[in-house]
Amino acid sequence: MLFHVRMDVRLPHDLPEAEVAGILAREKAYAQDLQRRGKWRHIWRLAGEYANFSIFDVADNAELHAILSGLPLFKYMEISVTPLLRHPSSIREDDS
């Protein structure tokens, strides 16, 4: 199943720099691993915001929830999820 996910990051201003750096390093490694495995298909940064739009390709809601809740930044994020379905007018065969 494909899901469109918006993630807005809200780091506390008083979080120590070293802690932020560690969280961000773990987040990057986790996200890149998911991309290599084909679970996190696309990620786009939103200009002028600490946010992204992403496309996930997972088996079901439960797998998406497990992936998102495993993000090191999860507790600092506002996340919205939209399930996606192939459009009948699409000419692409690889977007389901």
* CATH code for the domain in which residue 47 is found: 3.30.70.1060
For the beta carbon of residue 76, count every other beta carbon within 10 angstroms. 18
Domain assignment present for residue 79? The answer is yes
Q: What is the mean pLDDT of residues 53-74?
A: 98
- For residue 83, what pLDDT is reported? 96
pLDDT in tens, 19-40: 999 999 999 999 999 999 999 9
Amino acid at 2: L
- In sequence order, the 6+-apart residues with CB closer than 8 A to the CB of 4 are 53, 54, 55, 81, 82, 84
pTM for the structure as a whole: 0.91
Model confidence at 96: pLDDT above 90: no
Identify which of 86, 57, 67 has the alpha carbon closest to the alpha carbon of residue 7: 67
Domain total in the chain: 1
Distance CA 4, CA 25 (A): 24
The pLDDT > 90 percentage for the chain reads 89
pLDDT of residue 7: 98
Please tell me the predicted confidence (pLDDT) of residue 92.
82
